[in-house]
Amino acid sequence: MLSTMQTTPLTVSSILRHVVQNHGDRGVLTATGDGVRRVSYRELGERCGKLANALRRLGVADDDRVATFQWNNQEHLEAYAAIPSMGAVLHTLNIRLSPEQIRFIATHAEDRAVIVDSSLIPLMAKVLPSLDTVRFVLVTGEGDITSLAGCGKEVLRYEDVLAGESSEFPWLDGDENAAAAMCYTSGTTGDPKGVVYSHRSMYLHSMAACSGNAFGIAEPDRVLPVVPMFHANAWGLPYAALMAGADLLLPDRFLQAEPLADIIQAQRPTLAGAVPTIWNDLLHHVDRNPDIDLSSLRLVACGGSAVPRALMESFEQRFGVTIVQAWGMTETSPLGAIATPPAAAEGEDRMRYRATQGRPVCGVELRLVDDDDRVLPRDGKAVGELEVRGPWVTGSYYRVEAEDRFHDGWLRTGDVGNISPDGFLTLTDRAKDVIKSGGEWISSVELENLLMGHPDVVEAAVIAVSDPKWQERPLAAVVLRDGTETTADQLRSWLADKVPKWWLPERWAFVDQVPRTSVGKFDKKALRRIHSDGRLAVNEVYE
Amino acid sequence: MLSTMQTTPLTVSSILRHVVQNHGDRGVLTATGDGVRRVSYRELGERCGKLANALRRLGVADDDRVATFQWNNQEHLEAYAAIPSMGAVLHTLNIRLSPEQIRFIATHAEDRAVIVDSSLIPLMAKVLPSLDTVRFVLVTGEGDITSLAGCGKEVLRYEDVLAGESSEFPWLDGDENAAAAMCYTSGTTGDPKGVVYSHRSMYLHSMAACSGNAFGIAEPDRVLPVVPMFHANAWGLPYAALMAGADLLLPDRFLQAEPLADIIQAQRPTLAGAVPTIWNDLLHHVDRNPDIDLSSLRLVACGGSAVPRALMESFEQRFGVTIVQAWGMTETSPLGAIATPPAAAEGEDRMRYRATQGRPVCGVELRLVDDDDRVLPRDGKAVGELEVRGPWVTGSYYRVEAEDRFHDGWLRTGDVGNISPDGFLTLTDRAKDVIKSGGEWISSVELENLLMGHPDVVEAAVIAVSDPKWQERPLAAVVLRDGTETTADQLRSWLADKVPKWWLPERWAFVDQVPRTSVGKFDKKALRRIHSDGRLAVNEVYE
């Protein structure tokens, strides 16, 4: 029996239409270094119409990929809204990747055009001649474009192109399962793999982000996505803010602690999202400038890597700002779980819940499987690989065989952990980062979090190194706060009453910084390589 | 180009699975008259499994309609969750309808079974023998069932039937466009018409209800749906609360102001929904019992008919409780628009926005058309019939020709009003209630709201009566507060500086109550009939 309901498609274009019709006075503010520039969503809608007409006139057809190579700013948001809404596919390129990776990704995706911020031309110029599928380049901003001469592509100024166009465009009103956007994973092994989001998945993900159990985004909010828009859609915050009619505050290239603190004070965002290192840097900046006021933030979403408990406590105690840990992947759009404690939890119990990866947002289902693909109980004890399912979770990768990444319609995440009876996910490791010592697992992530809870430790990364007796043992690479001289012995004592004795690392390296991936996570692959190359000075401490 | 996303269906069964897996400790409380009874959602899930197994064993197949004839209570929620999740169709029967209407509706829907609360057996006994398609009856509660003997149906006790069943059931994991539930409109003209909700529409509606711009329902909430579960899914609050893992507080048959005040004080709901008359009654109860504490309510959703401004102001000033007006219909699941003022509005401006029907929730699109079906501008001035579109709006009625109710894929609502440039809908009338005086429209709803803002007026309904000179003129039927003796002249003076002079009614009837429909709205059709029968004592006042 079929329902009598309309089957109106869930599309990015309908989000754009909604915000223009109902929240046209709200808008997007972009940091300029000494202030902000602003357009209302009504004006944004008009500029999106112009962009879509321009792209169509330049030959962008339905399904063509249009790449972006941009900071978080108004023009990037225009690409976010206009490209899917016209029926083409937004492809966000990661500006932190190597030229070779960019070439691989843009060619694999067959990008037809690239929108480039003029401040990024030096990076793009290196790779552009090798992007065989790209026909033209739109340059935003005022910067010099002479270095693009001779790249073999048509190079146009974004504003010049928009100037001549009509602001009216017949936005897509079609199949919600059509491609809307794509993003390549920054996988640390193998070639990057493409995830193709649908209009439906984007729409549902935005609804989930606006729900009370996630970020509860509403029209009075001012949303500050510090997490890059080339990184898993900036966690979906831009589309969710448009859906809610909330103001967007975009930091452009001003991502250091000082300009971020300035924009937070001046523009008073209510909600922000960034990886833990950004919040850590901000915290240290406020240490040196205690008058800075961060109190406008009602919620700070944090993810990408485990959020140190000490960071959450500092923000709560010093600013009254709640940092909430969220878990997700490029493959999950990315919102999967969020670590809001149950309403009934109190005191220390709340912090215990907040230190997990969280409880799934309705729509996302989590389960654990063992090495034989048997589903494990949700008892908070059984440890297995996390699998995930839902309408904004990828079911394949773009034009690549990867059947080993899927299992009965579920995505294998490569993460290892447990799930409590009340649904909270605790990840103990990446499957590939797990330390197997004498046949038992040691959680590198738990060791890192405990170490980063030590007052003198700024960063800590733990990797497995081979050991003649135990097969593998943990090695801790630690960054100490300036001026402190904590020893490995002292850090072992710090850990001693918090973990089993056989978890205590014998190998310690005090380093200036932990290597990071292009999206700011600890790069343990690089750390392992530095260690295997013999370039890490390791102290060995045995009791 | 297709996306790589999973196409996991959006189903009621996935909401049930989510709440049991992740919020099993939260639950549903049902008023008992002297307290509450409670089951956790974990237990509810088990009881749903038993109910589904019982219904299957009793012959309920996929797509079969199972009717409910119940108050808002735990057992009704079990029907809400279990019946769609097993693949059958929940059909909520309105217990306020006449036996003839119930017979028409249950027969038109071909209900196979009815779940009846034992306190409603006297009503059901009158109609049951004539329900030809019904094969069996499940009776909840402890009440006497002997009056059902000889009804020609198999009559079973709900708890007896559940007792023998397994709590495990293979819940639906299929087509999201399949029917999940149905509800007949309480149309005041013609036969009732059936709306068939899909799993998809229920799921999306629940997500919308949980969004920050709607009710922002989250796990810490305790949701009190006073609006009946047989009336447009109790505005979707039960499914939304399950999706969020929020507690549900169900009033059963204890709907009078006193028991409602008691349950609000004792159980401290954070969110409630009911028609304006309920809140009005509660306000008068608190007038007499000023110690009553309603402060747990962060938001009170109000709809079904226009919400008097005075009611909103009283709740805000006296209890700090925000009443928000929401607009919708059975045909729109029902959430269509919600009257939260824009973030930028201040002071008196906020109240002006709150007095509208509100701004559409993302997903719902509104437009106005004139008598020639031309789309009108959204300028706050042009008045036309409201049309609505979206994934939880009906596109037809169940097995009835009603092409005149649809227009290019939009539902014609029969409501008349305007839309402001910032998206706020103001309904001035039902198309059939419009008063056309000398070729110009007078808004009966606006006159009613202004009259109900007078301190001595409890209720006011305004209808059109024929007039030899002006074709139609307004007649105001007014209920005065006990002990007051306000005159028609005084009420005309009250209105005089608020509306154009030619709007002032000349005809006034002071009545003990305004007739109401089965769902508690002013029944203007009945009022017009009483007037045309000469049973209304009318004072005529000309200046």
Give me the domains of chain A, ranges plus CATH numbers. Answer: 12-216+223-252 (3.40.50.12780), 358-431 (2.30.38.10), 434-540 (3.30.300.30)
Q: For residue A189, what pLDDT is reported? A: 58
> Which residues are CB-contacts of A460 (< 8 A; sequence separation ≥ 6)?
A447, A448, A451, A452, A476, A477, A478, A479, A514
Contact A1 B179 (CB under 8 A): yes
Contact A395 B4 (CB under 8 A): yes
Q: What value does the mean pLDDT take over residues B235-261?
A: 97
% chain B with pLDDT above 70:
99
- 8 Å CB contact between B119 and B143: yes
Contact B89 A1 (CB under 8 A): yes
Q: For residue B437, what pLDDT is reported? A: 84
Helix (H) or strand (E) holding A349: helix A348-354
Helix (H) or strand (E) holding B529: helix B524-532
What is the distance of C-alpha A495 from the center of its chain? 30
CA–CA dist B241, B19 (Å, integer): 9
Interface of B with A in 362-421 (CB under 8 A): 362-363, 365, 378, 389-398, 409, 411, 421
CA–CA dist B364, B235 (Å, integer): 15
pLDDT band at B543 (very low <50, low <70, confident <90, very high): low
From the list B21, B217, B394, the residue facing A423 with the nearest CB is: B21
- 8 Å CB contact between B40 and B27: yes
CA atoms within 13 A on the CB side of B190: 10
Indicate the residue type of B390. G
Q: For residue B189, what pLDDT is reported? A: 58
**B488-527 burial, b for 16+ CB within 10 Å, e for fewer?**
beebbebbeeeeeeebbbbbbbbbeebebbbbbbbbbeeb
Helix (H) or strand (E) holding B265: helix B257-267
| B107 to chain A, closest Cα gap in Å | 17
Q: What string of DSSP letters covers B187-229?
A: -SSSS--EEEEEHHHHHHHHHHHHBTTTT---TT-EEEE-S-T
CA–CA dist A59, A88 (Å, integer): 11
| B200 to chain A, closest Cα gap in Å | 9
| B139 to chain A, closest Cα gap in Å | 27
Tokens of A426: 């605790």
Contact B5 A344 (CB under 8 A): no
Output the average pLDDT for chain B: 94
Catalytic residues of A: 185, 331, 436, 441
The series of mean pLDDT values per 10 residues for chain A, 543 residues long, is: 94 98 98 97 98 98 97 98 98 92 96 98 95 98 93 96 97 95 79 95 98 98 97 96 98 97 97 93 94 96 85 93 96 97 95 95 96 94 95 97 94 95 91 78 86 93 90 94 94 92 93 85 89 89 75
Interface test with A, best of B10, B204, B362 (most A CBs within 10 A): B362
Q: How far is CA A173 from CA A17, A169, A189, A272, B391, in A?
A: 11, 12, 39, 32, 13
Contact A219 B342 (CB under 8 A): yes
ipTM: 0.88
Residue with tokens 């200046």: B543
pLDDT band at B452 (very low <50, low <70, confident <90, very high): very high
Which stretches of A188-325 are DSSP H helices? 199-210, 237-244, 257-267, 276-288, 309-319
**Burial group, residue A189, by CB count within 10 angstroms (0-12, 13-18, 19+):** exposed
**How many residues are recorded in chain B?**
543
Interface test with A, best of B1, B17, B405 (most A CBs within 10 A): B1
- 8 Å CB contact between A335 and A236: yes
Contact B3 A378 (CB under 8 A): no
Q: For residue B522, what pLDDT is reported? A: 86
Interface of A with B in 206-265 (CB under 8 A): 207-208, 210-213, 215-221, 243-245
Q: What string of DSSP letters covers B24-42?
A: TT-EEEEE-SSSEEEEEHH
Helix (H) or strand (E) holding B107: helix B99-108
Cβ contacts of A360 on chain B, cutoff 8 Å:
18, 22
Interface of A with B in 45-64 (CB under 8 A): 63
Q: What string of DSSP letters covers B270-316?
A: SEEEE-HHHHHHHHHHHHH-TT---TT-SEEEE-SSPPPHHHHHHII
Query: Closest chain A residue to B397 measured between Cα atoms?
Result: A4
Q: For residue B446, what pLDDT is reported? A: 84
From the list A5, A196, A201, the residue facing B392 with the nearest CB is: A5
Query: Closest chain A residue to B395 measured between Cα atoms?
Result: A6
Q: For residue B98, what pLDDT is reported? A: 86
Q: Sign of the C-alpha dihedral, residues B206, B208, B214, B219?
A: positive
Helix (H) or strand (E) holding A77: helix A74-85
Tell me: the pLDDT tens digits for B297-327? Answer: 999 999 877 788 889 999 999 999 999 999 9
> Which residues are CB-contacts of A133 (< 8 A; sequence separation ≥ 6)?
A106, A107, A110, A111, A112
Q: What value does the mean pLDDT take over residues B17-31?
A: 98
User: Whole-model pTM?
Assistant: 0.88
Contact B207 A211 (CB under 8 A): yes
- Is any Cβ of chain B less than 8 angstroms from the Cβ of A359? yes
CA–CA dist B141, B69 (Å, integer): 12
